[in-house]
Chains A and B, each alone.
Chain A
Amino acid sequence: MSLAPQLDEILRSLLRRHLTDAEIYVKRGRSRRLERTPVTEVSATSQERAWAVRAGNRRGSFFVAATGDPTAAVPWPEPVAGRSLELPEPTAVPAWSTPSDFDTPLIGEREGLKLLESLGRQLEVELPGARMLRAVLEDGSSEAELANSRGLHASTRSRIATLYVEAAEFGRSVASASLYVAAREPRRFHPTALARRLADRLAVTAVGAPPERDGGEFLLAPVVAAHLLAGLLPLFVGPGPGSRLLGTRGRFGSDRLTLIDNGRLPGGAFESPVDGEGVPTREVVLVEEGAFRQPLLAWWQEGAADGEPSGCTRRAGWRDLPAPGPTHLYLQPDPRTAVASLLGSVAQGYYLIDVTGPGRFDLAADRFSLPVCGFAVQSGRASAPVAGAWLSGGIGAFLKGIAGVGRDLTFHPLDGMIGSPTVLVAGLELQKGRG
C-alpha cells in the first residue's frame, strides 16, 4: 500500500515550519543472517522499519533519521546554518519491470545452513587440510518510498544476498584466505565454484613466494582488476580532481578500455529504475575505447564537468545521507576472447588470481600497489605459485597497458558493484614489498 498521502502530510508539516525544501524517505526491510563456524551456528532474522527526512531553507538544513513510522508530529530540530539543501525535480522514469526474483522468498534457515555446510565440505574436497573458519550468509529484501517538496514521488524495491567466508589450511604453516561475494539472491552462490576459488587462494598462499622484483605480462583475474578499478573510482565519480588528473578529453587508456556505469543493469545486485533521490538511472559510458567521455555526475553536479548527469546517488540505508557513487561500474568484456586464450598468449609473466588485502592508490602521484597472489607463467603455463607479492605501477600505465580483456565479466561488492572480466596488462611490476 502506498504511503504517499502520509508522506505528503509530513512534507506539508515541514512547509508550515518554513522548511521549503524537504524530502522524506521510508524504508521497510527484512533479512536473514546465517553464520556457521566449526563450533557455532547462528540464525538471525531482522525486520527493519525506518525513515529519514532532509529539510531546510535558504538559511540552513537538517537530516533526521529514525526507526518506526514517520508522523507529522515529530518534534523537528531547528535547522543549522550551512549550505542550503538542494532537491531534484521530478522527471519521467523510463519503463522498467520489476525483476521476478525480487518476489522470491528469503532463503530458509535449513537451506541456507546447508549451503554453508556444502561450501565447507567442498572446500575440504578441493584442498584436503583446508577448513572453513567462518561463513556468513545474509539475504534481504526491502521496499522504499520517497517524496520531496518539488513533487517527486518514487518507490523502489531491492533484493540482495551476500556471502562472506574465511578459511584456513593447517599445513606446515597456516595459510588463510577470505572471500566476499554478492548476488541478487543466495541461490546464485555455487558452493563448488566458491570452494575452488578459496582452495586456489589457500594453496598458493601456503607455498607461494613473491619475486624480488619482476615485470612481464600480467593476467589479472576479474577480482584483481575489479579491485584496481575500485581504487581508481575518484577518477570516475564527480567533477573532482580525479577526472582532471589525466586530462578529461585526452587519451585515458588503451582502446580495450571501455568503462560503463549502469544503475539499471539487468540482473545487477542494485538494479533499480531510480536512484536514492528518485532520479532515473541509466547507462553512462565513462570511457569508450580508451577515450574519456565523462565522469559520473549527479543531477546537482550538472555543468561542473563535461557530461550528462544521471541518477547515481546511492542511499545504502535509512541511516545514510544520499551521495553519488557507482552502482554497477564495469569494464566492458570482449565476448570473443576466452580466458584460456589470454593465458596462452602470456610468454613470461604472472596470472594473479586474488587480492590479499587493501591496496594503496595515490592518484596525485600516479602510483598504486595492491597485495596479490597467483602464479608465475611461462609460455602460457603456470610455473610457480606466488604469494605475499605486491602488484604496483603507474595508474596511467595500467589503464594504457591493457592489451586484452576476456569475456568472463563478474561483479564484486566493493564500492558499489564493480565488475571486470579477466584483463591482460603490461607495464606493471610485481615485487616483494609495497613499492
Chain B
Amino acid sequence: MPFSKLDTAAVARALSQVAERQEDVVDAFFERREEVELAPEGEPGALRVWREEGFAVRLAREGRTWLAARDAIEAKPFAEALRQVVRVVPSAAYPEPMLEMAPPEPVNAPELPEFPAALARAVRAQRVGFPLRVAVRRHRRWVQVVGPRLVAAAESETFYSCSVESSWGRYGALLPRLDAAAAEEIATAVVARFRARQALPPAPFRGAVVLGPAAVAVLLHEAVAHALEADTLAQGGNPEAAVGVAMAAPCLDVLDDPAAAPEGVRRTTDDEGTPVSRRWLLRGGVVEQPLADALWARTSPVLLPGAGRRGTRHLPPGPRSSHLEILPGEALESDLFAGSTEGLFLPEASRGALDPLSGDFVLHLPMARRFHRGALAGTTGPCVLRGRVSDLLTRVVAVGREVRPAGAGWCAKGGQKLPVWATAPALRLEGVEIAP
C-alpha cells in the first residue's frame, strides 16, 4: 500500500480541529491511481500510462459541503486545503502532518500485450474472422480515508477495461481479470454482434421477453440501484418514504454487496471509510434499504451509510451502488423460454437510462433473438425496451436459477465515472414493450 508512510494519526488530529460541532462530517480522502493502456495497433503512443495522486479535505455542516482538493500529497497543500474548507483564518496555524507516500513502482503490465492476441484466437475459434482494433487498459486505485476519530483501512482496486472496434461497431467491457475466460466472454459478445450486424430490428412488439444476466444487470442498475439512491429519491420527496414500497414483482430480491464483488474490486469500506454492508435494496420486490452515504444517513435513522462512492477526489462522494446481486430463482432455462407465443431473448444491453422524475426507463439492446416453444430462433437487430420502472419491474414472472457475474460497466451519474459490477440470473418478463 502506498499509504504506509502517511501519518494518519496526525491527519486525524488536524481534522479534529476542524470538526467544531457534533454533527459535522469532516474527512480527508487520499488516492493514488494508475492506468496502463495498450492502445490499438498502429496508433502512436502505443503504451499509455496515467499516474495521479492527490487528496481532498471535506467539511459538511447543515446541508452545506466545502471541499478542497489538490494534485499532490504533501504537508503544505494539506494545511492550505484545511484552511480553505473552514473558510476562516485560524488563530493558530493548522499542523502540517507528515504526508509521505511510497514512490510508485515502475510500470509493469505484462498481461496487457498478451490479451489482443488471445482475443483474436478466441474469435477465430468461433469460425469467424474480421479485423478488430483492441484497446486494453489496467485500472489500479488505492484509497485511504481519514476522519477526525476513525482511520479506515486502506483499500485498493484492480480491474481491466477492454474496447473492441470494428467496421460494424464498438464493444466495451469491464473485467475483474484478464484471462482466457475474459477473452472468451468478449469474443462471444463481439461475434454475436458481428452475426447480427445486418439483421433488421424487430417490429414493434409487446409480449414475453427473457433478459440474459448481462441485460438484467443493466436493467437493475438503472431501474433499482439509481432509483433507490438517496439523492435521486430526494428529487421526488423524502428518501425514507421509499422504504416499504412494493416496487417489483415478489420474486425479485436485489442487493448491493461491495464485499461480495469480484476479487480485485471487493471492498470492506466505502469511499468515506464507512464499513460496507450487504444491503437489501429489494426483498421480495419491496424496498428495504435505499443507498445512502454518510450525509444522507444523517437525515434519517432509516438510511444507513456505507454506499458513499467518489469517482475522483475533485468531487464529493454520493450514494451509489458497487456490486449488485440479484438472487437466483427456481426457473430452469426451459421454463424461461417456455410458452406457445413468440418472445424475444435479449442477451445484453449496451446502455440504459432512467428519468428519475417520471420513472420512464429505456434500455438499449444491440441485438435480440426470437424464441418460440422453448427454442431460440432468428436474430434481430438493435431494439429498445421502454417502460415505467413501477410497471416494468412488476412484470417479472420468473427468475433463472443460475447466476453469473454479469453486466459490469461504467456508470457516469453526476459526472462521476465509476465501475459497477453485478451478479445476476436471467429474468422473464411478460407484456413488455419493445420498439425498433
Contacts and interface: CB of A to CB of B under 8 A. Distances in A.
A219 to B, nearest CB: 28
Interface in A145-200: 168, 173-174, 176
Which DSSP category, helix, strand, loop or mixed, fits chain A's interface? strand
Contacts of B314: 33, 44, 46
A50 B45 CA distance: 18
B234 A83 contact: no
A62 B47 contact: yes
Interface in A2-61: 33, 37-50, 54, 56, 60-61
A44 B314 CA distance: 7
Contacts of A82: 39, 41-46
A181 to B, nearest CB: 16
Contacts of A68: 53, 71-72
B46 A41 contact: no
Interface string A363-391: 00000000000000000000000000000
Nearest to A169: B357
Contacts of A80: 38, 46-47, 113
B88 to A, nearest CB: 13
Which DSSP category, helix, strand, loop or mixed, fits chain B's interface? mixed
Interface string B3-44: 000000000000000000000000000000000001101111
A75 interface: yes
B316 A85 contact: no
Contacts of B189: none
B81 to A, nearest CB: 8
Interface in B312-340: 314-316
A77 B231 CA distance: 43
Contact of B46 (A37, A60, A86): A60
Interface stretch (B60-68, B123-131, B250-258, B262-270): B60-68
Interface residues of B, number: 42
B69 A46 contact: yes
B293 to A, nearest CB: 11
A50 B66 contact: no
A72 interface: no
Given A44-B314, A45-B69, A65-B51, A321 B45 contact: yes
A43 B67 contact: yes
A188 to B, nearest CB: 22
A40 B44 contact: no
B357 A45 contact: no
B63 A40 contact: yes
B70 to A, nearest CB: 5
B358 interface: yes
Contact of B44 (A43, A48, A64, A86): A86
Q: Which 6 A-B pairs have the closest CB atoms?
A: A82-B46, A63-B45, A80-B47, A80-B46, A44-B67, A67-B71
